[in-house]
Structure 1
Amino acid sequence: MNYTTLGTSGLKVSSLCFGAMGLGKSWNWGADRETSFKLLETFADAGGNFIDTANIYTDGESEKIIGEFLKTERDHFVIATKYTLADSRTGIKAAIEEGKGNVNGTGNNRKNMLRSLQQSLKRLKTDYIDVFYLHIWDHMTPVEEVMRGLDDLVSRGLVHYIAISDTPAWVVSRAQMLAELRGWAQFVALQVEYSLLQRTPERELIPMARELGLTVTPWAPLAGGALTGKYLHGEKGRLPDNSRRLSPEAQTIIREVIKVAESYGVPPSQVALRWTMQQDFKCIPIVGTTKVTQLEENLNALHLTLDQKHIDLLNEVSSIELGFPGSFFREEGVKQSVYGGFFEKIEHPNLPE
């Protein structure tokens, strides 16, 4: 296992993150307690120290299992959890279905932020959270309220670092600048869906992360298992037949991943994971699984290095339309007609190719 710092912080985390959404059986799928412990042990034995969960995962059971597992090794691990969505039967879900409940039990508001954190601390059996994510933007709470609230948690020592997930780039940029100007805690990581089958974050989110020094922590780097190739052979899983991850375009990409994997003599999953890890920005994929054999297979991606020709091949087959202004910058003649040849005279990693 290699290690890197998270964002612009000094926090050292493993180059793969363990995704704990499948720990527990509360959602009628996932790993039981015994298997969950084996998964965490396998990850730890490989040198992994970065674990990602959330208050909502398996209705809080994921956090409880992690808390039981880490009670004697807490300082060794970096625990990331999240707030925003309703955990268990609290919040809007209960209010709608039962005509009662805490309407402030969800959302980005400060009240729910503290309530959710306190519950996560109890379930995780810990006094602090290493990385606390805002889970998803609610398009309701003021940015100032969010950032001041998160900074207070850091000041109190309840949270060490803050991060954000599933939020528009303009919101993250505004929040980060606000925190910088006011001397508040700033985000160190950005969690988004990103894989060979989901490259749309390259339009705005990833360029923003690169510019702001945020580590990208992709969820679903294997696209729900689609990039393993198992669905091409008729194997059933949690993806419905009409999933975009199984579209004809997706299948073309998956077959190319399989060909590249065969040239290295490794499973397709390792190629798909390694592709995310060899991008030109700091990227730590989240590997979530409910089987020890699958986790071991994913961990072996650490020993693989893709040749540039294969990266270029995968980039080409999975390419997306950047839209405006990204595509405009790449149009033929733009460099000369608009910039007067300026791009030809200077090298900079953020300039359009």
Structure 2
Amino acid sequence: MSLTLDTYRPLGRSGLRVSPLALGAATFGTETGWGSEREESRKVFDLYVERGGNFVDTADTYAAGSSERMLAEFTRGDRDRLVLATKYTTLSDPRDPNSSGAHRKNLFTSVEGSLRRLETDYLDVLYLHVWDFTTPVEEILRGMDDLVRQGKIRYVAISNSPAWQVSRMQAIADLRGWSPLVALQLEYNLLERTGERDLIPMARELGLGVLPYSPLAGGVLSGKYTRDDLTPANIDATDGTRRSFNAALGTLTERNLAVADVVKEVAAELGHSPAQVALAWTLRTPGVTAPLLGARTPAQLEDNLGALDVDFTDAQLARLDEASAIDLGVPHAALAGDHIRAVMRGDLKFAPRG
């Protein structure tokens, strides 16, 4: 496969060109109890950009706004060469019920706040961060389109939302001539493949670039956890570490560690790290534009970038797929089964589309 960070890809059906690995800046700042201080964050950012990376992802509430403020400093003098993406919808003021959600008031307030913190006149990509189950889709789309027309954002995107709502939004945007969604963020990795049921096929059909976050499943796929970490007595859920966070989320399970074992086996065969193998598997999924790297240190980022050099054999890919396979559920499992194939095609032969 052998890519480089400056092997740029179009983001969805837009003409915007981005690196095949995006730099996630959720780790920039320690206000939420974990992450990296300014000096370490700067080293991570500089390493990414020096290698040709141009796609940086943050959100308005990451590290209580420190992530955006750090990026303002780091991007100073080089802003236009970079593609900066941020998000809105998560709660910024516990006293204000309108400081969260997808509605127009919070949309405009959040964008103005991000522009100030990032010290920029425009955002390259703005994501709806989390679906709120309240705001009408027309209100969201019209507000986003207004901001595009004002020049404050260039492209709109979405994250953590049901597939049927995303597809509905894309259809409405197309019919009304509003700015279409160009990207979809979702959790996707060898431990979490349920996006293959609807979200990823939808994104490919509707022209959204897929940007997987947590491609290492909180570090579980990096191989640093063992069966000892499954023992409740060994876990302090209040210690603020990534280990306790994973335990609280239910990521540390026997099934997931078994998948991680296969990742380690394949990594040893290839002479790469488990993290590189897990990232490379995600990177080669059809429809994926750029997994998000959440490296806290330059050493972690250096290792992550090695995923661009991983080449799998067909047998290795089959082992990874088998170990991490999911039940596609209704109707997908039936549609892919032999019975449906027989009643739809019989013995007829069809060439693939395209």
Residue 218 of structure 1 contacts residue 286 of structure 1 at CA under 8 Å; is this kept in 2? yes
Other-structure match for 1:32: 37
Distance 1:126 1:37 in 2: 18
Residue in structure 1 matched with residue 194 of structure 2 by the alignment: 200
- Indicate conservation of the 8 Å contact 2:11/2:289, yes or no: no
C-alpha RMSD of the superposition: 1.5
Cα separation, 1, equivalents of 2:227 and 2:341: 46
Residue ranges of structure 2 left out of the alignment (5+ in a row): 230-234, 236-240
Report the equivalent of 1:137. 131
Please state if 1:117 is matched with 2:121. Answer: no
Preserved contact between residue 217 and residue 251 of structure 2 (Cα < 8 Å): yes
Counterparts of residues 8-157 of structure 1 (less than 5 Å): 8-87=13-92, 90=93, 94-95=94-95, 102-157=96-151
Greater relative contact order, per chain length (Cα 8 Å cut-off, separation 6+): 2
- Cα contact 1:179–1:186 (8 A) shared by 2: yes
Kindly indicate whether residue 324 of structure 2 is the aligned counterpart of residue 312 of structure 1.
no
The one-letter code of the counterpart of 2:167 is S
- The superposition leaves residues 241-300 of structure 1 with CA deviations (integer Å, 9 ceiling, x where unpaired) of 465322111111100000000011110000000001111223310000211100100011
Structure 1 unmatched runs, 5+: 96-101
SS at match of 2:293: strand
Aligned match for 1:239, one of 233, 243, 252: 243
- CA positional deviation for 1:342: 7.8
For 1:267 and 1:199, how far apart are their aligned partners in 2? 21
Matches within 5 A, 1:263-342: 263-337=269-343, 339-341=344-346
- The equivalent residue for 1:216 is 210
How far did residue 304 of structure 1 move?
1.6
C-alpha displacement of 1:343: 7.0
Report the Cα distance in structure 2 between the residues aligned to 1:342 and 1:77, rounded to whole angstroms: 53
Whichever residue aligns with residue 24 of structure 1, its letter is G
> What does the per-residue CA deviation read over 1:294-352, in whole Å, with 9 as the maximum and x for residues that have no partner?
01000111122222222222111100001000011122221112x14387323238xxx
Aligned to 2:10: 5
Q: Is the 8 A contact 1:49 1:78 kept in 2?
A: yes
Q: CA, structure 1 residues 326+342, in 2 after alignment: closer, same or farther (shift >3 Å)? A: farther
State whether residues 214 and 282 of structure 1, in contact with CA within 8 Å, keep that contact through their aligned partners in structure 2. no
Mapped to 2, the partners of 1:129 and 1:233 lie a distance apart of 44
Q: Which amino acid aligns with 2:169?
A: A
CA 202–11 in structure 1, closer or farther in 2 if over 3 Å, else same: same
Deviation at 1:46?
1.2
**Count of aligned positions:** 337
Distance in 2 (CA, whole Å) between partners of 1:254 and 1:243 is 17
Deviation at 1:86, TM superposition (A): 1.5
> Is the CA contact (8 Å cut-off) linking 2:9 and 2:289 kept in structure 1?
no
The normalised TM-score by structure 1 is 0.92
Q: How far apart in 2 are the matches of 1:310 and 1:342?
A: 32
Aligned partner letter, 2:113: Q
Deviation at 1:45, TM superposition (A): 1.0
Deviations 1:6-42 (A, max 9, x none): 0111111000000100101111221111111111001
- 1:261 match: 267
